[in-house]
Amino acid sequence: MNKRSTIYDCSVVHLPKVNNRAGNITFVENNIHVSFSISRIYYLYDIPAGAERGGHAHKELHHFMVAASGSFNVILDDGINKKVVELNRPDYGLYIPPGIWAELFNFSSGAISLNLVSEKYDENDYLRKYDEFLLFKGKKLKKRLS
């Protein structure tokens, strides 16, 4: 699915929320709330105003992203179509399959991006240059005029 993934394969998922006067709890379970087994968890925080993160795609890795605190936007790009998703609630997450270019921006003060992924870190799984991403997706690159 990775080369053929489109932005329409990405989805916002409502996670369980247990309400309590002393504070709420939300949980995520392998193969139930996410469609893959979680191999790694990482989080982004202390993001300076105006900073952008991401700007890459993965060949095999499945990604589930939650705004654990604050808010931020995610640009999803399949090489043809693009859409922007705003994450601003800790009981909603964004599923991103392999083969989707993602960029994070517009972080609020104190934003925390919680990321659950299907694979351990492997630099070879990353597509960090947009032209390489387009080639991976089978798109022909236009020649630039000098």
Query: Which candidate in 33, 56, 58, 63 is catalytic?
Result: 56
Comparing C-alpha atoms, which of 63, 67, 71 is closest to residue 92?
67
CA–CA dist 20, 37 (Å, integer): 29
Q: Is 56 a catalytic residue?
A: yes
- DSSP for 76-108, written as a single string: EE-SS-EEEEEE--TTEEEEE-TT-EEEEE-PP
Helix (H) or strand (E) holding 131: helix 130-136
**Number of Cα atoms under 13 Å in the Cβ half of residue 132:** 11
CA–CA dist 127, 92 (Å, integer): 26
Query: Could you tell me if residue 33 is left (phi over 0), alpha (psi between -120 and 50 degrees) or otherwise beta?
Result: alpha
Active site residues: 56
